[in-house]
Structure 1
Amino acid sequence: MIQFFDATLRDGSHANKHQFGVEDIENYCQRIDDAGLDCVVVGHGNGLGASSLHIGLSKITDAEMLMTARENLEHTKLGAYMIPGFGTIRENIKPAIEIGVDLFKIGCHCTEADTTKQHIQYIAEQDLPVYGVLMMYHLISTERLVEEAMKMQSYGAYGVIIMDSAGASTPELVARTIDALCDRLHIKVGFHAHNNLGMAVANTYIAIRHGATIVDGTVRGYGAGAGNCQIEALAALLQKENIKTKLNMYRIMDVSEELVRKYPLSNTGLDDVSIVNGIAGTFSAFKHHAIRAGSQFGVDPRDILLEAGKQKLVAGQEDMLLQIAEQLRDHNKQFDDSYFVSSLL
């Protein structure tokens, strides 16, 4: 049976600049609790410990978010996400366990599984489900990705989820990657899609067809960049294909229309900047940072993302977008000045 992990209150935090409040979390958890989802992951867009001026300040603390969700989830597991470097075992994981988090996802850049070892091992030793997440997986070879996933397996991960952080995946890449992981791992394999090229639902469906049994998605596709795999749309597709799930499609649709539709920036669909983000292969949450940097320095945010892609920037390097924007402005000014001089000759 496919497991569905709902990231609306985590990945969706990117879309509203990490401004989910107590009432938002309370209402969402109460309404989604009987929708057949396996887990609702709650927190800052970059996970536990990530709230900062650099990345974006949360409206409320990690503890407040998790406690609110815990009090309003009865049938659905409460999940938390953390990237080592943003959060730690002592300051973030232990308090989350005390609050009552049922399930953890520990993420890292696709080449850095080593950084998750102590965190995955610690959570596994507490007899709690823990899943490794390999972000920006499109940047490395399938063979290297399998090696990194096998490390997470050796640390005690219940499963490995590959994250299409840039929404850059093609169907062929998804199929090849999931096949390789399922062939080599003896734990569950999952897929987290972004929609920058309009392929999130299709790519998730392909992942399922090739053996993935964990699906990350969000209601209404609410998430970073152009959004995530839209759970209710995927549920409809799976129903059409006679693939059984526990999902209550109508309940999820009701939550989408009555709650998520009203969230700030809920129209995070495909646009020119999101599409270029997918082409560039950059972290989906860079979109709004690039737009702000472009406005500040008077350059095209699409050019910022393309350059960020060339430099292979990853989550946590948002400040580099400002540097790129400044360099592009100076380059454009130099070009304009030289053109003006040459036109006078």
Structure 2
Amino acid sequence: MFKILDCTIRDGGYYTNWDFDKPLVDQYIQSMNQLPVDYLEIGYRSIAIKDYLGKYFYSPVYELEDLRKKSGKKLVIILNEKDIRVEHLNEVLGPVRGLIDMVRIAIDPEHLGRALILAEGVKKMGFEVGFNVMYMSKWKQYGDFIKELKNVDGIADYFYMVDSYGGVYPNDVIETIGLVKAETSVKIGFHGHNNLEMALINSLTAIEHGAEIIDATVWGMGRGAGNLKTELFLTVLNSKFGLPVNFNALGNVVNAFDAVLEKYGWGTNLPYMISGSNSLPQKDVMDWVTTRFYSFNSIIQALQNQKEKVKDNETLPVFTPEKSVKEVLIIGGGKNASEHAAGIKEFIKSRDNITIIHSSSKNAYHYKDLDTEQVFCLVGSEGHRMEQVFTDLGDFNGICVLPPFPRKMGTYVPSNVHDKTFELEAITFTDKFKDSHTALALQTASVLGAEKIYLVGYDGYQDFPITQKERDLTEENELLFDLFGKQSKEKLVALTPSRYKNLLADSIYSMIYG
């Protein structure tokens, strides 16, 4: 009989930064105690890593002690092989002896030899050992990796095939199991991602062909497109194979994660499907989908560029304005650029030498009839937004600016404005977020030689609560304002209400009341 490992807290941490409310974790443990699940993977154990990573990335001893008291299941933590060496084991694993049953190791196939040395050290400490070997769809490309699997015998208790890209099919599962069994007698596991919604059938296929342990997560919560859903897997096993399932307990844990799913919205979509089909990394896609407001066309173009190993699909003329401007007004996507549009237009009309820069096209409709020179920053879905603002773009009289070549995202430029579109030569004030709306707008203002830079519609999300995506974008903008201010003589002045601390505050109405 095969075993089931639920890794919701560990894999779901890619969305929550490994922070989960304690009542949610307690409900999870309580429900899992009543379900036919054998192992619970609680999180990572790690040496200290720069930047904030939450509780279940480090799995502190006090938390593991509490979970050990409450859980009747075998508990698991995972080590990231790229960060952990044998000399770290006493520090990382010594304190959790007696609390943790199995230690899994996340392994890049290129570093199997290094992982074997690490695993020997883990085994000597008395833990079960699981190898989670990533990128199974590309294993054949890793030189002698398959032949080296014979060295796993006697070290690993379970050898997991991890469908990192979420793009394998049942025939691939069967073939890979055959390759592994030809070299080693270790018990085989399967961890399926759900980019192509194949996690269930691939897991069932793995079982049919000898896999002895399967991973799943509640609601499929996991990196990128997510994983096999625990509730789906148990329901199918109950229906097809008579596995006893306490559906009240199952319903309780699913309901407990409803709010988390609503907040983070994991699951497959078109970009994840394309990345899975072409064995392209999910890390970038996850960032583009969850943090950035990129259009699907932009994401898909970026994925196609990766597949074809090209830097970008188009080079554009460099933006070199013929003359400098005295003032720039950057219009963001916040509602204040709409609510105060009448006053903002009066301000614009009162200036002799001002250029408008639209960091977002969201509010451009209110300003489309002005004679003032207007520049549009094309990032993400802005080209599509412009098409909605300007009917067939027949009444468009501005210019468009894109980030420097090569761009991370695909280049989408509406055909009607192609001859009015340029790219910046460089983003000079930061090496971070070079493809962001705000970085592009600030650099454009600098290239224009502006002596004064005003901003409207940079509200800072004044309605609460805000989503994690909105919080991330707010922090990103704050950093960019700070970096620009340190490297430029121009002061950034917000003329509409704003929560950004790194902007000077003034009022649009103080500029026009006379």
Q: TM-score scaled to structure 2, two decimals?
A: 0.55
CA distance in 2, matches of 1:50, 1:168: 33
Q: Note if contact 1:110-1:148 (Cα within 8 Å) is conserved in structure 2.
A: no
TM-fit CA distance, 1:233: 1.5
Partner of 1:226: 225
| Residue 122 (structure 2) pairs with residue 126 (structure 1) | no
Q: Which has the higher contact order (CA 8 A, sep 6+)?
A: 1
User: Which string of whole-angstrom CA distances, capped at 9 and with x for unpartnered residues, describes residues 137-193 of structure 1?
Assistant: 111218955334333335x11120011111011111111111222343212001000
TM-fit CA distance, 1:297: 11
Partner of 1:277: 275
Q: Note if contact 2:43-2:76 (Cα within 8 Å) is conserved in structure 1.
A: no
Distance 1:144 1:125, change over 3 A: same
| Residue 50 (structure 2) pairs with residue 48 (structure 1) | no
Q: Note if contact 2:301-2:409 (Cα within 8 Å) is conserved in structure 1.
A: no
User: Which string of whole-angstrom CA distances, capped at 9 and with x for unpartnered residues, describes residues 44-95 of structure 1?
Assistant: 5xx6348643xx621564215534422321x201100111232341332223
For 1:1-345, what aligned pairs fall within 5 Å after superposition? 1-44=1-44, 48-49=46-47, 52-53=50-51, 57-59=53-55, 61-63=58-60, 65-73=63-71, 75-87=72-84, 88-97=88-97, 100-141=99-140, 144-153=144-153, 156-242=155-241, 245=243, 248=245, 250-251=247-248, 253-264=250-261, 265=263, 267-291=265-289, 294-295=292-293, 300-308=298-306, 327-328=406-407, 332=411, 339-340=418-419
CA distance in 2, matches of 1:26, 1:109: 33
Q: Note if contact 2:34-2:249 (Cα within 8 Å) is conserved in structure 1.
A: no
TM-fit CA distance, 1:238: 2.8
TM-fit CA distance, 1:14: 1.4
TM-fit CA distance, 1:222: 1.4
TM-fit CA distance, 1:272: 1.6
CA distance in 1, matches of 2:285, 2:277: 13
Task: Choose between structure 1 and 2: higher helix proportion.
Answer: 1
CA distance in 1, matches of 2:408, 2:123: 49
CA distance in 2, matches of 1:185, 1:333: 49
Between stretches 333-342 and 2-11, larger displacement belongs to: 333-342
Larger radius of gyration: 2
CA distance in 2, matches of 1:137, 1:70: 33
CA distance in 2, matches of 1:296, 1:261: 26
Aligned amino acid, residue 25 of structure 1: V
CA distance in 2, matches of 1:170, 1:231: 20
Between stretches 301-310 and 100-109, larger displacement belongs to: 301-310
TM-fit CA distance, 1:232: 2.2
Gaps of 5+ in 1: 312-323
Distance 1:134 1:35, change over 3 A: same
Distance 1:330 1:337, change over 3 A: farther
Between stretches 25-34 and 294-303, larger displacement belongs to: 294-303
TM-fit CA distance, 1:308: 4.7
Q: Note if contact 2:165-2:276 (Cα within 8 Å) is conserved in structure 1.
A: yes
User: Which string of whole-angstrom CA distances, capped at 9 and with x for unpartnered residues, describes residues 255-310 of structure 1?
Assistant: 34321222244642221222122123234344331336754899823334444556
Distance 1:282 1:212, change over 3 A: same
Partner of 1:319: none
CA distance in 2, matches of 1:192, 1:235: 15
CA distance in 2, matches of 1:337, 1:179: 55
Q: What SS does the corresponding residue of 2:28 show, helix, strand or coil?
A: helix
CA distance in 1, matches of 2:147, 2:124: 23
Q: TM-score scaled to structure 1, two decimals?
A: 0.80
CA distance in 2, matches of 1:283, 1:251: 37
Partner of 1:314: none
Q: Note if contact 2:299-2:410 (Cα within 8 Å) is conserved in structure 1.
A: no
Aligned amino acid, residue 82 of structure 1: L
Partner of 2:344: none
CA distance in 2, matches of 1:223, 1:191: 15
CA distance in 1, matches of 2:251, 2:295: 42
